[in-house]
Amino acid sequence: MKSKRIIVLLVLLLIYILSLTPSLATEVPRSFYVNTANGQPHSIIVVGKNAASMDLISGNMVITKIQSEAYYEDFVYVNITGSKLMEASNNNQIIVDPSTMTLVWADNKGNSGSFTYGQSIEKIALRFVTNDLNNLLIYVNSNQNPLTIQNPEINRNVIINSDYSLELLDNTPGVQGIYGYGGNIKFNVLFKKQQPGAFQQVKINIWEPQKLITNDAILMEDTAKNNNIILVGGPVANNIVAGLVRRGISKIDWYTSEGEIEYLPNGLYPGRDVIIVAGADREKTRNAIIKLINS
């Protein structure tokens, strides 16, 4: 029974200690610095108006951290297309092979170029039966159920599968119909295939980085409500940090701190987080800044 009481007391003591432990983070998520959907910054650095010049230098160092996180991931896919003029005799099989075509590629970013397959890709076998002028039969590969093209003179675009389609061409100029009874079929094979895409990082250039830093005396309420806040310096150097300490929101003893990062969810306004990067003096604040930018 005594051992059980000791365990309970230890658990209660641990809970009490954890309740006093500040929310520390040597790694701040990207989403704190930037909107991960578009890479645009949504964090502001705030130094003390009357702080030592080194705090301002430290604040400017944080801008490089925000710039490094200012990117978004974009999905790139590539369409490969090509065509080839072909002709087939009645009831004879031909093989369609895209590697014999002139192929081009184009991605969804406006880039394009020529393309050559370096590996085996799907080929198809086609067989046309032209014994009925009003109903063209097209056998694809070994499938015994043909595609039936009614009135082929009108319905000249034929979808074979997701990669191939045919454009039936007039093979009998001056004669009704696009082919004669039992005659040849002329057509364009159209090939289109979408290659698996990949994510790429698109960097965002911050053209006015000076707008990312301000001081505690001129921080606008509207700015604080619409951005996450990076507070540089402890309660002696930064009045906003002093206020958070007085209200019991910041729980670190900054007067003895060797340099720490304290993460405060909803620190000043709901939905906006705050981190304090500070130490007992400006050198120790610089130590905390280095931790932050290297995280």
Whole-number average pLDDT of the chain: 84
pLDDT band at 207 (very low <50, low <70, confident <90, very high): confident
What whole-number distance in Å separates Cα of residue 146 and Cα of residue 167?
Answer: 17
Q: Is the pLDDT of residue 12 over 60?
A: no
Separation between Cα atoms, residue 234 and residue 276, nearest integer Å: 8
> Using CA atoms in the order 17, 20, 26, 31, what is the torsion angle rounded to 10 degrees?
120
pLDDT per position as a tens digit, 63-119: 999 999 998 887 777 888 999 999 999 999 999 988 888 888 888 777 888 877 766
Tell me the sheet residues that pair with 158: 166
- Parallel, antiparallel, or unpaired for β 124-129 and 157-159? unpaired
Three-state SS for 136?
A: strand
- What confidence tier does 22 reach under pLDDT thresholds 50, 70, 90? very low
pLDDT value for 119: 62
Which of 47, 45, 46, 43 is closest to 70 using CA atoms?
43
- Strand pairing report for 112-115 and 102-107: antiparallel
Question: Residue 10: what pLDDT?
Answer: 42
The number of CA neighbours under 13 Å toward the Cβ of 43 is 29
Domain residue spans of the chain: 24-70+207-293, 75-200
Give pLDDT tens digits for 145-173. Answer: 999 999 998 899 999 998 999 999 987 76
Fold of 24-70+207-293: Chitobiase; domain 2 (3.30.379)
